């Protein structure tokens, strides 16, 4: 039986989902008194999660894909699956409390479907070795719809004050209902919300059938950190986004325990 809880973070580009994924990882570590092991999966083609976490990486799954497709053209007997699984283990970046796997860009010549299938099996296997797997998804849930990702215990859908983000959240909920992935719980977070606008954003989202489960205020410190290239993982404890994310993480962990 799988040990790790899988949490996927999705939303329209610009809503701050990558920052939320990073702060979620930080909050889980702190809530567990450092007694936890997390696999962070950057499934967004822009690959911003490493910067948010303050960790570098050498190769992505996309890089491995290209290498294997090229090798297969020269050796038709190549066992792609065994090679893929071995190379995935090699490119995981390790820290004391979390490891990082970067998907990279899947575009390129050749069929991606077999590699997608292998990747899903690999993540399913990896998840057994972690307490949590946190996935920073592409906005359109392509990795979920291509069935490259395992079933999800909690899907965090991130929106902001824009109508586009609310409509994207609605589309994500529809996709999650339609695809062959078991999403056990959805948790909607309104991010970068100005002071006094909390009730308005909840009302607007409710008009589209979306209930907001948690709110993270606009945090000028995140803007400052992004501008200076500092990882949001290192925000001070009194940051409004860190404080809000701690409360939300507690809700998510408690809900998963039920």
User: What DSSP state is assigned to residue 146?
Assistant: T
Q: Which one of 3.40.50.300, 3.40.50.720, 3.60.21.10, 3.90.1170.50 gives the CATH number of domain 5-257?
A: 3.40.50.300
Quick: pLDDT tens for 15-56. Answer: 999 999 999 999 999 998 878 999 999 988 778 999 999 999
Mean pLDDT of all residues belonging to the chain = 84
| Domain locations along the chain | 5-257
How many other C-beta atoms can be found within 10 angstroms of the C-beta atom of residue 248?
Answer: 20
Q: Is the pLDDT of residue 109 over 70?
A: no
Strand order of the sheet with strand 214-217?
93-94, 98-102, 38-42, 132-136, 5-11, 154-159, 186-193, 214-217
Dihedral angle computed from the Cα positions of residues 75, 81, 84 and 85, in that order, rounded to the nearest 10 degrees: -150
Quick: pLDDT tens for 140-165. Answer: 555 555 544 557 889 999 999 999 99
Residues 179 and 144: beta-carbon distance below 8 Å: yes
Strands 98-102 and 5-11: unpaired
């Amino acid at each position: 039986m799988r040990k790790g809880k899988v949490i996927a973070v999705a939303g329209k580009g610009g809503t701050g989902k990558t920052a939320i994924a990073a702060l979620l990882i930080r909050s889980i570590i702190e809530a567990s008194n450092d007694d936890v092991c997390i696999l962070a999966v950057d499934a967004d083609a822009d690959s911003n999660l490493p910067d948010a976490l303050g960790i570098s990486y050498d190769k992505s799954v996309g890089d491995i894909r290209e290498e294997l497709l090229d090798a297969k053209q020269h050796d038709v007997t190549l066992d792609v699956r065994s090679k893929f699984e071995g190379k995935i283990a090699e490119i995981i970046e390790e820290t004391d409390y979390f490891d990082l796997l970067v998907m990279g860009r899947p575009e390129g010549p050749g069929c991606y479907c077999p590699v997608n299938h292998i990747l899903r099996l690999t993540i399913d296997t990896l998840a057994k070795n972690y307490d949590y797997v946190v996935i920073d998804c592409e906005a359109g849930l392509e990795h979920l719809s291509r069935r490259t990702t395992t079933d999800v215990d909690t899907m965090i859908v991130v929106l902001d004050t824009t109508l586009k983000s609310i409509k994207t959240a609605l589309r994500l909920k529809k996709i999650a209902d339609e695809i062959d992935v078991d999403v056990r719980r959805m948790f909607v977070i309104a991010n970068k919300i100005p002071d006094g606008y909390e009730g308005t954003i909840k009302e607007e989202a409710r008009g589209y059938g979306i209930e907001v489960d948690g709110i993270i205020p606009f945090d000028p410190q995140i803007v400052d950190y992004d501008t200076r290239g500092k990882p949001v993982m290192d925000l001070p404890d009194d940051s409004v986004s860190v404080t809000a994310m701690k409360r939300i993480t507690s809700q998510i962990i408690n809900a998963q325990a039920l």
